[in-house]
Chain A
Amino acid sequence: MRYLDEYRNPELARRLVREIRATATRPWSIMEVCGGQTHTIVRQGIDELIPVRMVHGPGCPVCVTPLATIDRALAIAARPEVIFTSFGDMLRVPGSGADLLSAKARGADVRVVYSPLDAVRMAAANPDRQVVFFAVGFETTAPANAMAVLRADAEHLDNFSVLVSHVLVPPAMAAIMESASVDAFLAAGHVCAVMGWTEYEPLAARYRVPIVVTGFEPLDLLEGILMAVRQLEEGRFTVENQYARAVRRTGNTFAQDAVRRVFRVSDQTWRGIGEIPASGLVLAPQYARHDATLRFGVGDVSTSEHPECIAGEILRGTRTPLDCAAYGTLCTPRRPLGAPMVSAEGTCAAFHNAGRIRQETP
């Protein structure tokens, strides 16, 4: 496939690894904030080939969706009039005691959709039912979810609503830099395909960290890491774009316009991390009639996390799955305790799928 195979060339990967080894004089810490990148790095063993410490940041929207929101989803899905629609990877995220898949097994009408527009079509086809779409994601997904709301609104589909849990990457990177220390960031290529990288320029300057907009194939990641290492070795800290074939500095302004029409920036809780100011999106007031939280009155829920799960520290990059006593024993992709073990893009699932084993301390 064009634009994929050529970025998986093993010979060029070897050259890049050698170049990173020759360039890095110190074990720099580089954080990626994208579950897709985490998955490729761990599956290909890129982090084990290079003298750089790859830190896996909160790059999985599924993983950082607040527990209270999962519990609200469960409460809404349990209602008999509701068809609850979601991307597939949300179904096994544990709420306080259950997940959407087990709700479905108990009779809830939970359906997986490929595109948010599928949920809008379902609302048109089922006028006697309430169709709710679980609108989660980073900036990458916000334009698609915004279009679903715009279409439903234009078609007067009053039986369509969204449960929104949207998170924004740059405020999370700022929060990480306030509390932890990483030397450089790889910025997520598809987030930047939508948003561009102007938001990252003040972060690079304020925290004096190189930020490299990076793609998803092995050569993209290796080149992104090399560009970050070169900046660190030269004492530079600017935003560079490795993923030039897909990302322009100003991003996709058509997509941004739709997001601005439908959503407003708000404070947002990140599961395992806590509240980060101005790091989320909520529906704009003029679309409140499509807000599932208001429609079904599920604002208040009480939540409880599994006590052994260290997902919060893993999401912040301060510990790895191999530091968790439950990893691979109590907690596996088949029976996840925490969200990072659920989605293939969660750090714990990426480690587990790659066969990484916890060494018991004697």
Chain B
Amino acid sequence: MCLGVPGRIVARDGEMGTVDFDGLRREACLSYTPEAGPGDYVIVHVGFAISVLDEDEALRTLAVLRAIPGGLDEISR
């Protein structure tokens, strides 16, 4: 129900815009992300952008995850 999908804004015309979801383009309401423009990634929920994705935070999260020590796969143990 709260499914939100990340997509890239390809065009903005006032309150509405076109968002690209890995090749599939859909109209989205951008009223709640007035700061977002073409090239920005947003989370879209039921046709509304609710959040602009923060590239720096995304990279930081991945860096934290990659810093967790690796090693032999013991999952099946």
Contact = CB atoms under 8 A, between A and B. Distances in A.
Interface of A: 1-4, 6, 9, 11-12, 14-19, 34-36, 49, 60-62, 87, 89, 114-118, 136-138, 140-141, 143-144, 147, 188-191, 193-194, 216, 219, 223, 242, 244-247, 252, 254-255, 258, 343, 345
A343 B1 CA distance: 8
Contact of B51 (A17, A62, A216, A252): A252
A254 B69 CA distance: 41
B45 A140 contact: yes
A346 B71 CA distance: 36
A254 B31 contact: yes
Contact of A16 (B43, B50, B68): B68
A35 B48 CA distance: 20
A254 B51 CA distance: 10
A255 B45 CA distance: 12
Interface string B39-75: 0010101111011011101101110111011110111
A12 B75 CA distance: 12
Given A141-B1, A193-B4, A244-B54, A219 B65 contact: yes
Lowest 6 CB-CB distances: which A-B pairs, in order?
A: A115-B47, A245-B58, A244-B57, A140-B2, A3-B6, A193-B51
Nearest to A193: B51
Contacts of B73: 14
A147 B29 contact: yes
Contacts, number: 135
B77 to A, nearest CB: 9
6 contacts: A19-B68, A115-B29, A140-B1, A194-B50, A245-B58, A246-B43
Interface string B3-35: 110101000000000000110000001011110
A73 to B, nearest CB: 16
Interface of B: 1-4, 6, 8, 21-22, 29, 31-34, 41, 43, 45-48, 50-51, 53-55, 57-58, 60-62, 64-66, 68-71, 73-75
Given A11-B70, A144-B29, A34 B2 contact: yes
B6 A1 contact: yes
Given A2-B41, A36-B2, A36-B3, A144 B75 contact: no
Contacts of A219: 65
B46 A144 contact: yes
Contacts of B41: 2-3
A138 B29 CA distance: 19
Contact of B1 (A61, A115, A216, A223): A61
A115 B50 contact: no
Contact of A116 (B46, B51, B71, B74): B46
Given A3-B58, A15-B65, A114-B47, A143 B32 contact: yes
Nearest to B21: A1
Contact of A147 (B1, B8, B31, B66): B31
A36 B1 contact: yes
Contact of B53 (A19, A141, A245, A255): A245
A87 B58 CA distance: 30
Nearest to B16: A117
A252 B35 CA distance: 12
Given A137-B1, A141-B2, A252 B29 contact: no
Contacts of A17: 75
B61 A188 contact: no
A245 B61 contact: yes
Contact of B34 (A19, A62, A254): A254
Contacts of A114: 46-47
Given A4-B6, A141-B45, A191-B2, A12 B68 contact: yes
Contact of B32 (A9, A60, A137, A255): A255
B75 A14 contact: yes
